[in-house]
Amino acid sequence: MKFNSGFGCDKNAKKFTAPDEVWDAYCQAHPKDAYLRHGNCPDYEDLEIAIGNGVAVGKNSIGLGSATDDRTLGADENRAPHIEELNYDAENEAFVGLTQDYPPSSGSKSPLVFPKVFVESTQRRAPTKRSRGQFVIRFDRSHFATSRNFNKILRALNTIAPNMMVKPTTAIPAKIRESTRFNHFFKDCIGAIDGTHIPAMVTGRDVSSYRNRHGVQSQNVLAACNFDLQFIYVLSGWEGSAHDSKLLSDTLSRPNGLHVPQGKYFLVDYGFANRRQFLAPLRGVRYHLKDFGGQGRHPTNADELFNLRHAKLRNVIERIFGIFKSRFTIFKMAPPFSFQTQAELVLACAGLHNFFRKECRTDEFPVEDEVENAAPDVENDANNLEYLSQSQLSQRNEANAWRASIANAMWENRSMYGNDGNEDDETEDNV
């Protein structure tokens, strides 16, 4: 609870603090814990010891867009080599990291030598003889040669990845322009934003911060995409316990992070505050597409109609995550690399995805259901509220009024621009 967005703590009083609206939502979802609002927590000190290292701070996060910032790619040239970049020298009983090709030729620099105990203390385990043999069989190369080439390719991909990312456009997307259900109401929308969890391999004292709500180690990846299933911006490397709203704040705070053109906006889910640049669905109203499926389950009021059309458009982010994980199956399990390499790998593959989308549009991949990333139910979403200052609250009220005007306009013109009964949208591409 201490680390939920919107909550703070008073160490002297040993109690949790939060604005009234955050408390109201939390107590409604967790009535048995309502006593914490006005009283102190008897187990506060024990909790601080138990989860003191579980704070998500995004220290390994890196972003990728058409313009990258100074915390992004190619910043690890001086880092210590990891096990997949080292070769074991049996004669000297040490792992070696190379400055040039190995073995060194005459006049070349000597390899960097790392004692075996150093490597084993920083990694879960070194490659076994069996695993090295599997590498030889699969790639017809040694484990070391494969690892070295892997890292060369990863660095090369990360160098060109920014050029593969698309820029936000000011033109009305074809998906919206060509649909009477969307054009008159979402003409300034340029895409969707959401987060997805990718299994991660993490060791050390910070492991707890990488456990998501399912208890699985993961990195939380935030992405913005357009309606042509191309990534605009990707932020990887955040701990799995971090809320999507915290990732969005980080993305917007970076010098060359996500830029939203003037007058344009992205679609987001319940996990984000409703703002003019980020249009969220209405709370307390059915939202999932499956909730509107079946005979007689069409929208019955303006709020439901707005949420249905919002969900149909925002579904593009769920589809791109499904395609991404189906195309790059390495992300279905924790990649066996250092965490920094795991984060960089996501960005490199995001750039590759955009390249394939531009050059190989006829290739089809099955789209998996993004259960982990589905918009949360309202009653379970009280923990994911953003803390808003007074000025932000004023902006949010204006955004809520703007959203209500869109919903009312949809309802008033539903017969003219489509009634959204149980009809499906146009056939969707899977690539």
Statement to judge: residues 121 and 15 lie in one domain = no
Statement to judge: residues 194 and 342 lie in one domain = yes
Statement to judge: residues 144 and 195 lie in one domain = no
Across the range 397-412, mean pLDDT stands at 92
Looking at the predicted structure, is the pLDDT value of residue 91 above 70?
no
Alpha-carbon torsion (23, 27, 28, 30), positive or negative: positive
> pLDDT at position 318, please?
93
Across the range 280-288, mean pLDDT stands at 86
Structural domain includes residue 174: yes
Q: How far apart are CA 201 and CA 217, in angstroms?
A: 7
Structural domain includes residue 327: yes
Structural domain includes residue 333: yes
Looking at the predicted structure, is the pLDDT value of residue 382 above 60?
no
Statement to judge: residues 221 and 342 lie in one domain = yes
Its pTM stands at 0.70
Q: How far apart are CA 63 and CA 248, in angstroms?
A: 11
Looking at the predicted structure, is the pLDDT value of residue 11 above 60?
yes
Confidence of residue 31 (pLDDT cuts 50, 70, 90): confident
Taking only the tens place, the pLDDT of each residue in 170-204 is 899 999 999 988 988 999 999 999 999 999 998 88
Statement to judge: residues 147 and 33 lie in one domain = no
Statement to judge: residues 178 and 288 lie in one domain = yes
Residue 12 belongs to what domain range?
A: 8-51
Structural domain includes residue 430: no
Statement to judge: residues 298 and 278 lie in one domain = yes
Statement to judge: residues 148 and 170 lie in one domain = no
> pLDDT at position 166, please?
92
Taking only the tens place, the pLDDT of each residue in 33-71 is 888 888 777 766 666 555 555 567 788 888 888 776 434
Looking at the predicted structure, is the pLDDT value of residue 146 above 60?
yes
> pLDDT at position 175, please?
93
Statement to judge: residues 26 and 98 lie in one domain = no
Statement to judge: residues 217 and 326 lie in one domain = yes
The total domain count for the chain is 3
Structural domain includes residue 418: no
Statement to judge: residues 306 and 244 lie in one domain = yes
Looking at the predicted structure, is the pLDDT value of residue 404 above 50?
yes
Statement to judge: residues 358 and 231 lie in one domain = yes
Looking at the predicted structure, is the pLDDT value of residue 109 above 50?
no
Inter-residue contact 193 to 278 (CB < 8 Å): yes
Structural domain includes residue 290: yes
Confidence of residue 17 (pLDDT cuts 50, 70, 90): confident
Structural domain includes residue 235: yes
In whole angstroms, what separates CA 259 from the centre of its chain?
17
In whole angstroms, what separates CA 387 from the centre of its chain?
20
Q: How far apart are CA 363 and CA 353, in angstroms?
A: 12
Structural domain includes residue 429: no
